[in-house]
């Protein structure tokens, strides 16, 4: 049983299935790196969930705009999603009809984390803040708060 938490996982299968209502949905099977356990993510094309599904399909490496590429006639057919990347899955318990099961809440690419977007390296951080004179503003704010442990020469931007 998979408990709530964050897990590194690879895509091992995907396909198009139908919901109980007969609507199409995408099913993606992940294998958790640490344990070898598998967990499925289902993306809906109904209502507002369609946008979330589209974002996740792009995140998972789907090329183009035709969802039929996700359908696989056989288990040996090529996968249309990124099977090489180690994704981070955020798993939570979900209760439905008095049954509680693990469910994928978020799928993150490497460097993404909980809605913070893509992390950047230190060199890029410096270039992003170049010319903003943020160092002086931080020193001024710290002085107002009575914290004066930083000198202007300590601020990198």
> What confidence tens digit (pLDDT) does each residue in 73-111 have?
888 888 999 999 999 999 999 999 999 999 999 999 887
> What confidence tens digit (pLDDT) does each residue in 112-151 have?
765 555 556 667 667 766 766 666 666 667 677 776 555 5
pLDDT band at 154 (very low <50, low <70, confident <90, very high): very low
Q: Where in the chain is the domain with CATH 2.40.50?
A: 5-108
Tell me: domain 5-108, CATH 2.40.160, correct?
no
Q: Cα dist. 131→123, 128, 134, 156 in Å?
A: 14, 9, 8, 11
Measured CA angle at 26 (ends 20, 28), to 5 deg: 120
């Amino acid at each position: 049983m998979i408990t709530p938490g964050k897990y590194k996982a690879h895509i091992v299968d995907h396909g198009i299935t139908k919901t109980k209502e007969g609507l199409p949905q995408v099913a993606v099977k992940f294998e958790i790196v640490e344990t070898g356990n598998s967990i499925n993510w289902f993306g809906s094309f109904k209502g507002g969930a369609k946008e979330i599904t589209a974002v996740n399909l792009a995140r998972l490496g789907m090329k183009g705009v035709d969802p039929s590429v996700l359908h696989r006639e056989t288990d040996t057919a090529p996968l249309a999603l990124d099977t090489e990347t180690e994704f981070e899955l955020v798993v939570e318990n979900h209760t439905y009809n008095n049954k509680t099961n693990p469910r994928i809440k978020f799928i993150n690419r490497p460097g993404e984390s909980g809605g913070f977007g893509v992390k950047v390296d230190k060199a890029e951080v410096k270039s992003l803040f170049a010319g903003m004179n943020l160092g002086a503003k931080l020193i001024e704010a710290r002085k107002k708060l009575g914290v004066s442990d930083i000198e202007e020469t300590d601020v990198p931007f």
